[in-house]
Structure 1
């Protein structure tokens, strides 16, 4: 018997740009969930990173709704607002929203006015990547 595929959603803040990811950590005062400098070997792929990136995940399980992931990220980075705004001149700051869904579903995403306001205050772009899969094993990280 196969287990039905359930939706998986998660979000993270991604910062990309010049220099070293250690500078981002120093400015924000928090450790990233994942980071890589340009030309360093990415531990996930085994290939060199094309650009510096610094990533901070919401910390929630991927069975939680997207809205909760987004709120957790915004709540944390609101506390670091001045530091985040210091970065937006030289770096791309992106709220990444990712979903893995059964092929038979068609999820939508809704950003309420408060989320849009907070995202704008922090100077974040929003990127939504949705994947529709038949086989539950294809949705695994």
Structure 2
């Protein structure tokens, strides 16, 4: 928690994770990299929305978190992911034939800054990875976004049932 001069407290949570998305079974990534994901799901897999609707995943996902606390700077999270993935760079490049691979940098709680060194840029390029930045204001909108998606899906279902 940081207190600004006018006593407006801002809690900034920042983290990063590696993700691979595509249409192929995410277990293939686990086999190739020899790393267990923190989260994975398959294309077409059913899941429940917060409003109780059953939907199907539109893509497969394999995710590995940086393992650092959210108070650490984004640079530290990215370095942790690079350290984990760099020894597997040949395997990682092979994965990119079937999966889109990124390092996702998330900032909750206002503005953030992220500066890469040339060395970090070289390593990301050697791994064939891109950055995906996901920044949010001073609240976590994931619940609101999930709720809105559910409402849109309800409206689509209602329209399909009505026709």
TM-score normalised per structure 2? 0.74
1:50 equivalent to 2:67? Answer: no
Which residue in the other structure is 2:74 paired with? 66
| Structure 2 stretches lacking a partner, 5+ long | 1-7, 144-163
Q: Distance between the aligned counterparts of 1:77 and 1:42, measured in 2?
A: 29
As a proportion of its length, which structure holds more helix? 2
Q: Distance between the aligned counterparts of 2:49 and 2:83, measured in 1?
A: 28
Q: How many residues align?
A: 133
- Pick from 93, 101, 105 the counterpart of residue 97 of structure 1: 105
4+ residue stretches of structure 1 with deviation over 4 A? 42-46
Q: Where do residues 1-141 of structure 1 align in structure 2 (5 Å cutoff)? A: 4-42=9-47, 47-102=55-110, 106-133=111-138, 138=140
Which SS does the other structure have where 2:115 is aligned?
Answer: coil
TM-score normalised per structure 1? 0.85
Which SS does the other structure have where 1:79 is aligned?
Answer: helix
Report the structure number with the largest CA radius of gyration: 2
Q: Distance between the aligned counterparts of 1:32 and 1:67, measured in 2?
A: 21
Tell me the C-alpha RMSD between the 2 structures.
Answer: 2.1
Confirm or deny: 8 A CA contact 2:24 2:98 kept in the other structure.
Answer: no
Which residue in the other structure is 2:154 paired with? none
Confirm or deny: 8 A CA contact 2:14 2:73 kept in the other structure.
Answer: yes
| Structure 1 stretches lacking a partner, 5+ long | none
How far the C-alpha of 1:48 sits from its partner, in A, is 2.3
